[in-house]
Structure 1
Amino acid sequence: MSRLCAFVRPWLGKGLHHLRHPTRRGILIAIGALPAALVLYVIVLIPFTPGIGDIRKARVDQPARILSADGKLLAEFKPSNREWVPLSQISPHMVDALISTEDHRFYEHHGIDFKRTAGAALHTFSGDRQGGSTITQQLARNLYPDEIGRAPTLTRKIKEAITAFKIEAVYSKPQILETYLNTVPFLYNAFGIEMAARTYFGVSADQLTVLQAATLTGMLKGNAYYNPVINPERALARRNTVLAQMVKYGKLTDAQDATLSKKPLRLDFERQTEPPGPAPHFAQQLRKWLIAWADRNDYNIYSDGLVVRTTIDSRLQAMATAALKQQANQLQGSANGVWSGRNGCTVGNDLFKTFMRETPDYKSARDGGASDEDALKKLAADRTFMRALCKDKTTVQAGFLAIDPRSGQIKAWVGSRDFAGEPFDHVQQARRQPGSTFKAFVYGAAFAAGAKPSDTIVDQAVEMPLEGGEIWRPNDDVPPSNKPMSLRDALAFSRNRITAQVMQAVGPDKVARLARAMGVRDSELKPVPSLALGTSPVTLKEMVSAYSTIANDGEYMEPRMVTRIENSKGDVLAEFASASPERALSASADRTLLDTMRDVVNRGTGASIRSRFGIRADVAGKTGTTQDNADGWFILMDPQLVAGAWVGFDDGRVTLQTEGARSALPIVGDFFSRALRARIVDPRARFDTEVQPGAFETFRDRLKTWMDGLFASKTPAVAPRAPAHAPASRAAGPVVAPAPEPAEVPPSSGVAQAGAAAASGASAAASGASAAAVPPDIARMFGQPPVLGASSSAGASAPPPAHQDQAPQQAPYPPQEPMLAPTPTPDDSAGGNSAGAQYTPPTPQPQGN
């Protein structure tokens, strides 16, 4: 080390001496070394500038075009509010004004105007800062702001110059002008000359006059400073400067300038908004997927001209949008009536007072020293604040989704009433309690375990102990009948007490696993008893996907949005076939479930599908309503299409005044009736619900037949018994008008401490009802000991509530003859929960994925 220091020290000393006492030779060497260093620096920066390939892609701005399955344009994915127009469709006045003002030697240089650059540098050194960038250099900044940067440094200027040379090597002069004019920003989210012409003057780019072209050109020096909307005096002065430049370079005469410079700006300003398209929420979700696909495959969705062919049917999408808007508007009228007056959006309403306390305005008033009362009074006096808060909290929202169960293709997607006013997607982003629509998984798990629709459970008071010493008491809109009710009737009339007992027999874990297998795969499902009544929040997309599994013979098909991606020439870049089906539920159990769910629309809570909308097709479905009617659901299954709707408010504390059969069902009913009339969905399509017997059942029946024949001579003749594998579907018969739908009871979760519930428990015991009775037959099927107090007689099914006109239990469907006149639906708003301490599961607010 000491030797190295001894060697370096003399050289270092000589260097310092030359710096202090420079010679003429040293100065000449230093001056000659500067250009060499600059050249070396430029060479080093070249790899950090855009390549020729990137420049070629950037020139042609071809956004991805999203097409429906029937070839209709759904959306274009643009990086901004821009519409590309060729140079031939741009006013020549704009080109003249641009070149005269920004780069009058544009046709003479090759990217850099060295004379202008040197002049700008001299002016800058003298204190009068000027820009020397050519149109090509400005284009380089516009196309590659991240790669080049905008800081006023030597590095940025060198990168800009290198990129300008590359652009000139790739583009012709007309192409450079066209690209520049289509990429330059003009404030108010208007990019390019076409959108600027529309925004500031209400005309197209080819209609721009000399004055309009001069005004827009003047903005290029500083959009904000020369903004003609908020700084008209500056914009006018800058416009006249541009006119003078046009005179200087022979584009205008002095006489024209004298006349034009005296005229006002005459703006026709209107912000430009990108049209949402017919399926905006679908397009929003698709954009995320497409960006990921493009990144993996080295494509740009904004410039490579991709053509994305989706699964959406534009006709079904239009029908869904119309049906949702019509029903939501009607519900909004009812909501407005409820929230108007003294008990509406006023401080007299405790709930609305809570909303007021949650606003930043209230918090600001309290931080300023105001008391709670004074802060509320101040806000209540602000009519604008009160109207805005009332609208935000009481606007009815809805979501709709339709899927082809055979392929998983999404056919219609409506995420809200109005995308512009509510871009939040209530199909995929919102998680809400599904209510009784979740019961399909409970009965599906029961049928998979061996239960039959004819099996019965006593309709009795139910008490289920929970963790922490609490007791869950599910209720219905009528008192317990203490009579057996078949599973078929329990699902058709959405009986909470029966469903809770089925859940107890099957087990929450099995139900949760089945729901996940069938399609509820993103949301967390808590395996607790109340899950039977839909207390775990899920998305509408998950529920419709799971019901598609039911309609697809128990096989899950992953929902998909895209079938094919092509380039701008029509060459196929990628094809997306349907995912492989996944068996979620056995075919026999699924067909039994599907046949049982037919009764929901034939004579149960969804009967208005038949009576009101006149739908005669072979359909099945389920209604759903959550606590206090906070959420309304309905999902309908057809062999070719499954559609579901959710209705509610963004804030779950605001509730509807009607249940799911009256809020969400009309959307689906209207949609399906339109689709069937248009023959987009075949009204003749039928579900195959014939349950084929297994090998064991076949052997058992043959053995029984042989035994009966063997002992026939010794045994008195008896009526033949139906085979265990009797088909779940019923033979066609006379047509009967569907009964009015009964009320659906929200999943009230009555919970009280064990001590507080003693009286209720004693009352139930006195009536002969067991707290958690399970029929002996079903208990044996589930591997449990039978519980006393339950009946397994198949024929003693409890009738529907007395106020309903009950149709025959075995009424066949689909009908083969015209239906009778629709029967009016009775008012079911009186249905309530039994008295006692009640526990209301918290209703989660909409949240993102």
Structure 2
Amino acid sequence: MKKIISLTANTARKCLNMAYSGCRKAYNWYLRTFKRLPWYGRIGMGLASFIIGLIVLLGMIDINFLGLFGKSPSMFNIKEPIQHIASEIYSSDGKLIGKYYSENRTPVEYKDISPILIKTLVYTEDERFYKHFGIDFEGVFAAAKDFITQGDARGASTITQQLVKNLFKVRSQYSTGLLGHIPGVKLLIMKAKEWVTAVKIEMLYSKEEILTMYFNTVDFGSNAFGIKTACHTYFNTTPDKVTVEQAATLIGLLKATTYYNPRINPKNSLARRNVVLGKLYEQHMLSKEQLDSIRQLPTVLHFKEETETSGNALYFRDAVANSLRDWCKENDIDLYGDGLKIYTTIDSRMQQYAEEAVNKQMREIQKKFDNHWANMAPWRDRQGEELPHFIEDLAARTPAYRYLSQRYANSPDSITYYLNLPHRCKVFDYDLGQRDTLLSTMDSIRYMVSFMHCGFVAIAPHTGEVKAWVGDINFNSWKYDKVLSKRQPGSTFKLFVYTEAMNQGLSPCDLRVDENIPWEVEEDGEKKIWMPHNANGGATLDTFSLKMAFAQSVNTIAANVAHEIGIPNIIRTAHAMGIRTELDTIPSLSLGASDVSLLELVSAYGTVVNDGVAIEPVLVTRIEDKDGKVIYEKEPEETQAIPYESAYLMQQMLRGGLTCPGGTSQALWRFKIFDKGTEFGGKTGTSSNHSDAWFVGVSPNLVGGAWVGGEYRSIHFRTGELGQGSRTALPVFGYFMEKVLADKHLAKEYIARFPSPKEKIERSWDCNTYLPHYSDSDSLNILLGDSLLTGDEDLDLERLEQILEN
């Protein structure tokens, strides 16, 4: 080993000596030759030496010789540049509903860029663009001359060099090596790298391709990257349709995207625009008359800055991004920079109708809620007492409190003072979306937590495709998605109790008594008694069919049936049908005491409508890469969750909520959704303290569900009808379906009747399903229950009787 090391060292020493000797001989030869030449020969040899030396230096910088200069963009990087392109999200009806991006950029082709834009860029930024090879030496020498003679350095970067800065960011993403630590040397190294990379780009790409890449990469300010986004942001137009003055404004602001921004600095922008127009005149692109005329025109903006919250279906888009996170990780895909085209299941029209339905209903709910509590605090415990320190506890979770507690760690009075000090802030407003106001942190919390909230989702049951998704009343104010949040479903959970009953051979017409039957349960090693009770606190001891008990939401019968068939069996069926949340094995589960999400609940109801076949909710159908290649295609996951016969019988049970006397879903009759023959069913639900109000409505081709409640479970209506699912959640579905069925493009798909049995069914279901004619509203009220006639609109009795006759 010692011999090998010694031999290697000797060899290295000899190589260095030879190199040193060779360099010395070359240097001596150079000096002898230089001295023998006449003065003009010496100038020529010196110039040639400088050029050769510069080329050698640039080559050494490019290869990062001895680590002195840092890494430079490779030929591979230049051939395959990493360009952050926004991914676009499309609705099922082909509408662009939003984007995911780190830089808001959508590329265009050269043919889609107006010639006036191209000429304006070249004549303003690099008039010798078509003559140089990446470096404009004439411009460099002119800039050097100005600096020496006038002390004013003008820019000499070519469009190609600017492209290098935009595309590779050599001044920030690439190191400068050991020599970069020497003051003044770093800038020279960076400039040299730009020159070398610019020459490489000119070798690999045509002038048209370079211009296209430049237009697609450059930052135009206002979160607009690339010419397509810039045209849309500032003028609501496209690159092929810009006018001369618009082109001059856009190219002009490239000099300084803030100082010459036409929105925030209109005077500077106008002056700069006119300078650019002068350049076009100098190049004979404009006549003197045209120049004078256009300079008199004001800058007319149609400004709309795109942000992450621009577009539609914001909660849905968030859900899509979350659903794709693992897939992107597994496939090394950047959702925010790879320029994907994501085709979703959402229908833009149905989404709009859903948002309008939520907005319409929640405005009314908020008025009632505010009147209900008047000047009292709505945050209450189960005994109805105001929760002490509720607002203070919420304030302690805010960034403002964390900042103040660090700054005034030993002065709690200062923390209290600043938390109660009014300051400018934005709060939610139904008319403005968000409004600026002057409130303290404490008052803003009191204001914001006093709003009622809503989630709504609609799913096509035969495909699992989500057609509408509203996560709350305002995305900018509340990011927490109420379609995915977990809350107690109340009586909507009875679907699974009765479905399992059908699985075990019971029928809708089987009879049970409305009576309190105690359950003996074991809790923490102790035996306790759980006693189910109805909403009115008692039991009638009347006999009900299961269909009637389900329609009227009789708690005692649901609990007693659950006792018969077993809570574990109910849980197994709920999970098979689409509930993914872990459920508590407790008797009160039968009445909806275990949390679930609105999405999984509506999906599970869809299993009933889909003849017992469960389909996982589908959000995305297809994804294409930036080149249009399909890289993801969703295939629905289907399982026969329950027997067909059970599903058919439960369809009739759900319809009973509207057709059985006293059915809790009969408030749906007041909506104009029955006149074209569509059949509906549904189930309401209300948690025990009115914290959660639910309704899931079903029709043959569409299932939709709504949840209404406070942000916190302690904020709700007091005991009474105002907080019931039929009053708060059901109208959201009603308003939504009114608009869907009134849309001639959608109606043909969603106007439908439930089909007759596909196979012979032995069990009876046609009981308690009748609505005879009544001539006065009192009699009809007795038949249908109070919920029908207590809405905000009068019931059209004549229309209802015509529907029932048919």
Q: State the TM-score, normalizing by the size of structure 2.
A: 0.71
Which secondary structure state, in structure 2, belongs to the residue aligned with residue 632 of structure 1? strand
Consecutive unaligned residues in structure 1, runs of 5 or more? 694-724, 742-799, 808-816, 824-849
Quote the residue 1:761 is aligned against. Answer: none
Question: Which residue in 1 is equivalent to 2:716?
Answer: 655
* 1:414-813 equivalence runs, <5 A: 414-419=470-475, 422=478, 424-427=480-483, 429-453=484-508, 454-460=510-516, 462-468=518-524, 469=526, 472-481=530-539, 483=541, 485-486=543-544, 487-521=546-580, 523-563=581-621, 576=634, 578-579=636-637, 581-602=638-659, 603=661, 604-611=663-670, 615=674, 617-656=678-717, 657-676=722-741, 679-680=747-748, 683=751, 685-688=753-756, 692=760, 725-730=762-767, 735=772
Indicate yes or no: 2:356 matched with 1:322: yes
1:174 to 1:291, Cα distance in 2 relative to 1, 3 A:
farther
The 3 A distance-change label for structure 1 pair 258 and 264 is: closer
Matched residue SS, 2:469 = strand
Supply the distance in 2 between the matched residues of 1:319 and 1:141 (Cα, whole angstroms). Answer: 46
Give the 3 Å change call, closer, same or farther, for CA 686–199 of structure 1 in structure 2.
closer
Q: Is the 8 A contact 1:690 1:729 kept in 2?
A: no
Structure 2, unmatched stretches of 5+, are 31-48, 65-70, 177-185, 381-385, 423-437, 789-797
Q: Does the 8 Å CA contact 2:92/2:345 hold for their aligned counterparts?
A: yes
Distance 2:506 2:478 in 1: 45
**CA separation of 1:197/1:345 partners in 2, compared to 1, >3 Å: closer, same or farther?**
farther
The CA deviation at 1:224 is 5.5
Q: Secondary structure at the match of 1:680?
A: helix
SS of aligned partner of 1:644: strand
Structure 1 pair 818/332, CA: closer, same or farther in 2 (3 Å)?
Answer: closer
Residue in structure 1 matching 2:163, options 139, 159, 178: 139
Q: Cα offset for 1:575?
A: 6.0
Q: Which amino acid aligns with 2:354?
A: A
Counterpart secondary structure, 1:413: strand
Structure 2: distance between partners of 1:37 and 1:524: 67
Cα distance in 2 for residues equivalent to 1:288 and 1:805: 43
Q: Residue deviations 1:655-707, cap 9 Å, x none?
A: 245211111101112223444455335555124458746xxxxxxxxxxxxxx
Residue equivalent to 2:34? none
| Residues 411 and 232 (structure 1), Cα distance of their counterparts in 2 relative to 1, 3 Å cut | closer
The offset of 1:353, in angstroms, is: 4.9
User: Could you say if the C-alpha distance between residues 377 and 801 of structure 1 is closer, same or farther in structure 2, counting changes exceeding 3 Å?
Assistant: farther
Residue 556 of structure 1: CA displacement? 0.8
Task: Indicate how the Cα distance of structure 1 residues 171 and 18 shifts in structure 2: closer, same or farther if over 3 A, else same.
Answer: closer
- Whole-angstrom distance in 1 between the partners of 2:614 and 2:802: 38
Match of 2:128 in 1: 105
Q: What is the alpha-carbon distance in structure 1 between the residues aligned to residue 650 and residue 775 of structure 2?
A: 20
- Aligned equivalents of 1:268, 1:733: Cα separation in 2: 63
- Change beyond 3 A, Cα 1:231–1:805: closer
Deviation at 1:582, TM superposition (A): 0.9
Structure 2 CA distance for partners of 1:13 and 1:195, relative to 1, 3 Å: closer
Sequence identity, in percent? 32
Is the 8 Å Cα contact of residues 630 and 652 (structure 1) preserved in structure 2?
Answer: yes
> RMSD of the TM alignment (CA)?
5.5
* 1:64–1:301 CA contact under 8 A, matched in 2: no
Aligned: 1:192 with 2:226: yes
CA contact (8 A) 1:66 1:73 kept: yes
Which position in structure 1 is the counterpart of 2:24?
Answer: 24
Q: 1:8 to 1:687 in 2, by over 3 A?
A: closer
The one-letter code matched in structure 2 to 1:685 is: R
For 1:667 and 1:28, locate their aligned partners in 2 and report how far apart those are by CA, in whole Å.
93
Structure 2 CA distance for partners of 1:495 and 1:166, relative to 1, 3 Å:
farther
> Equivalent of 1:176, from 196, 210, 219?
210
Correspondence list, 1:36-435, <5 A? 39=59, 42=62, 48-50=74-76, 54=80, 64=88, 66-69=90-93, 71-75=94-98, 80-82=103-105, 98-100=121-123, 102-113=125-136, 133-145=157-169, 149=173, 164-165=198-199, 167-168=201-202, 171-193=205-227, 195-196=229-230, 217=251, 219-221=253-255, 223=257, 272-273=305-306, 276-286=310-320, 310-338=344-372, 341=375, 343=377, 350=388, 351-362=390-401, 364-365=403-404, 368=408, 379-380=419-420, 382=422, 383-385=438-440, 388-419=444-475, 422=478, 424-427=480-483, 429-435=484-490
The one-character-per-residue Cα deviations of 1:239-266 (angstroms, maximum 9, x if unpaired) are: 89979988998989999999999x9998
CA shift at 1:605, angstroms? 1.3
> 1:364-416: CA deviations, max 9, x gaps?
55552687787556544525235643443233332222222222233333333
Shift of 1:444: 1.4
SS in 1 for 2:468: strand
Q: Distance in 1 between matches of 2:669 and 2:148?
A: 85
In 2, the alpha carbon distance for the partners of 1:20 and 1:571 equals 57
* CA deviation after TM superposition for structure 1 residue 26, in Å: 6.5
C-alpha distance in structure 2 between counterparts of 1:440 and 1:187, whole Å: 54
* Structure 1 residue aligned with 2:37: none
Asked if the contact 2:86/2:102 (under 8 Å) is kept, the reply is no
> What's the CA shift string for 1:769-801, capped at 9, x where partnerless?
xxxxxxxxxxxxxxxxxxxxxxxxxxxxxxx99
Question: Residue 230 of structure 1: CA displacement?
Answer: 7.1
Aligned counterparts of 1:19 and 1:305: Cα–Cα separation in 2? 52
| Cα separation, partners in 2 of 1:180 and 1:338, compared to 1, 3 Å | farther
In 1, Cα distance between equivalents of 2:99 and 2:399? 37
CA distance in 2, matches of 1:216, 1:185: 11
Pair 223,677 (structure 1): closer, same or farther in 2 beyond 3 Å: closer
Over 3 Å counting, the alpha-carbon distance change for 1:460 and 1:393 in structure 2 is: same
1:721-755 C-alpha deviation (Å, 9 max, x unpaired):
xxxx44323598663579999xxxxxxxxxxxxxx
Shift of 1:565: 6.2
What is the alpha-carbon distance in structure 2 between the residues aligned to residue 731 and residue 501 of structure 1? 21
Q: Take 2:488 and 2:646, find their aligned partners in 1: how far apart are those partners?
A: 25
In 1, are the aligned partners of 2:91 and 2:348 still within 8 Å (CA)?
no
Q: Counterparts of 1:150 and 1:110 in 2: how far apart (Å)? A: 23
Q: What are the superposed Cα offsets for residues 38-82 of structure 1, whole Å, 9 maximum, x if unpaired?
A: 648747979945467746x969x796562424x555456666445
- How many aligned positions are there? 716
Q: Given the two structures, how large is their TM-score scaled by the length of structure 1?
A: 0.68
Paired position in structure 1 for 2:183: none
CA-CA distance at 1:300 after TM superposition? 8.8
For 2:2, the equivalent position in structure 1 comes to 2
CA distance in 2, matches of 1:72, 1:193: 21
Secondary structure, counterpart of 2:590 in structure 1 = helix
Aligned residue number for residue 45 of structure 2? none
Distance in 1, matches of 2:775 and 2:170, equals: 66
Which residue identity lines up with residue 550 of structure 2 in the other structure? L
What SS does the corresponding residue of 1:629 show, helix, strand or coil? coil
Q: Tell me, what secondary structure is at the counterpart of 1:560?
A: coil
